Each structure stands twice: as C-alpha cells, then as structure tokens.
Structure 1
C-alpha cells in the first residue's frame, strides 16, 4: 500500500539542524492521517505522497515551512510577583499576547528570571530554525471511518471525542 489521502502512516524519523546537530531523535514513531489533516508539516506530507513501506525521504524545512520565524513581539517581561513562589526557567504558562483578544491564548516559556522580572517567550523553541526531517515509512493502512470523522489516529480504538 502506498501513502495516499486518508491513509494512516507510521514513520521512524529524526530531525536535525542544517549542520547535522540532532534536534529530535524520534524515539517514538510518528503516526498521522495523510491528506491535509494538519498532523504533519505540509512539505513533509507532500514528499511522502506515493511512498511505500521501507522508503525514506529527507526534507529540508525553512522556518516558514516548520515553526515559523522568531517573533520578538512574543517576548514579554512580567513582574516576578505575578507568578507562583516556585518558578523555574523552562516552566510554561498560558497567556494572551499583548494587544490581542483575551481569547487568543498561547503557551509562554519562562526563559529568564532576574531582578524581580520574569522573561516569557511565546515562540516555539524551534522558531526561526531551519530543520532537516528524515523519515522512513514503516507502515501504511487505510484510516477507519471514525479516524477520518475525528481527523486523528486512534491508537487503541479509544477516543476522547466521543
């Protein structure tokens, strides 16, 4: 069976930067529904179209093809007293970017704590980074009607959507 619209594709993969530095070792296989369900970057999906089990593809992604350009507008500095007593770099908080609707929440990472201030970054950690995605197709099967209706893979037949 070949990778085509409405098939469930399983990939062994890894992600490096353009210099070959490992970004994601892909310890667990990536499983997604092929065909525009937004489970994988479109450029990778395009490269996988028509491939069969055992075939490998290598896709170079510019920031716009992956996690976007780094946006300095998504970096905010907030007073330390606005946060819980236990606070560490790397913790994440949901918040609305300055000047946006209160419904536009994004995930902010704490990147620095100093002088009574906390620096929050709403960019994805890989924003602004070119990536090389290498993967091998390890399985392809037709998606079930329920998977297609829900738009995601059901690993064990269970789904929180029901």
Structure 2
C-alpha cells in the first residue's frame, strides 16, 4: 500500500542540521506513527513521503519554509520579571508556557534576561534551519 491522505504511516527518521550533527533519531527507539495529510509532521517530510510504500528508504533536505518555518520577529517579545511566578527559573535557554486569547498553549524560549526585562522567543527552536532527514518507511495502513 502506498502513502496517501488518510494513511497510517509508521517510519523511522534521523534528523541532522546543516553541519551534519544529529538533532534527533528514532532508529534506536520507537518509530513515529502519523496520519498522512493531517499535519502531524512537517510539511516537507509529508510531501516527500507521499506515494511511497513500506521498505522505502531515502535522504531528503528540507528548507525552512517546508520545515519549522522562518522566524517571525513578532514572536520575540519581552516581559518584566515580575510577570513570572516566583518558582520559574529565568535562565537563558529554558522555556515558559502561557496561553493565547483562544486558550491555546504557547511555549516561549528565554533568550535574554536583564534586571528589567526577560526576552522571549515563540518561534520553534528549529525555525530558519535547513533539515536533513534520513527516513525508512516501515508500515502503511
């Protein structure tokens, strides 16, 4: 069976950045299971796998526009330290969560801390990055 919209796909992947460093891999753990066409994986990978079948194995390079996107400067914001609970550690690299007006959870990475301001980035950590995947399709239902 070939991968098409609505297919339940099981696959392994290895993700490397532009320098070749491994960012993530499922080859030594459980594979990913997703439904094709539901937006459960990045657009570029979903497009690449369309029409393939079990046993397919390949490498693909995905540009930011079809991966985790291009950084949106409007998602870089700041808040005063007083806006955070006392138990929140305001350290560069850590994350904090809040809700948007619709109640959806938004995760921000702390990118800078001063006495007056905490700078937060709501972009995905892999935004702007070219992604190099190795994939192996195991099952298609």
TM-score range, shorter chain: 0.7 to 0.9
Name which of 15, 18, 30 aligns with 2:32: 30
Match of 1:92 in 2: 96
Quote the Cα distance in structure 1 between the aligned partners of 2:15 and 2:6.
25
Query: How many residues are aligned here?
Result: 135
Q: Which runs of 4+ in 1 moved over 4 A?
A: none
Q: Supply the distance in 2 between the matched residues of 1:70 and 1:15 (Cα, whole angstroms).
A: 20
RMSD: 2.0
Distance in 1 (alpha carbons) for counterparts of 2:102 and 2:140 = 38
In the TM superposition, 1:4-153 aligns within 5 A as: 4-26=4-26, 27-34=29-36, 36-88=37-89, 89=91, 90-96=94-100, 102-103=101-102, 106-141=106-141
Length-normalised TM-score, structure 1: 0.73
The 1-side partners of 2:43 and 2:123 are apart by 20
The CA distance in 1 between the partners of 2:102 and 2:56, in whole Å, is 43
Instruction: Give deviations 1:93-134, integer Å, cap 9, x for gaps.
Output: 2254xxxxx438532222333324211111111111111122
What TM-score, normalized by structure 2, do the two folds share?
0.83
- The gaps in structure 1 that reach 5 residues or longer are 97-101, 142-162
- For residues 34-57 of structure 1, the C-alpha deviation after alignment (integer angstroms, 9 at most, x for no partner) is 2x2111223222221232222112
What's the offset of the Cα at 1:30?
1.2
* Structure 2, unaligned runs of 5 or more: none
2:69 partner SS:
coil
- 8 Å CA contact 2:97, 2:108 repeated in 1: yes
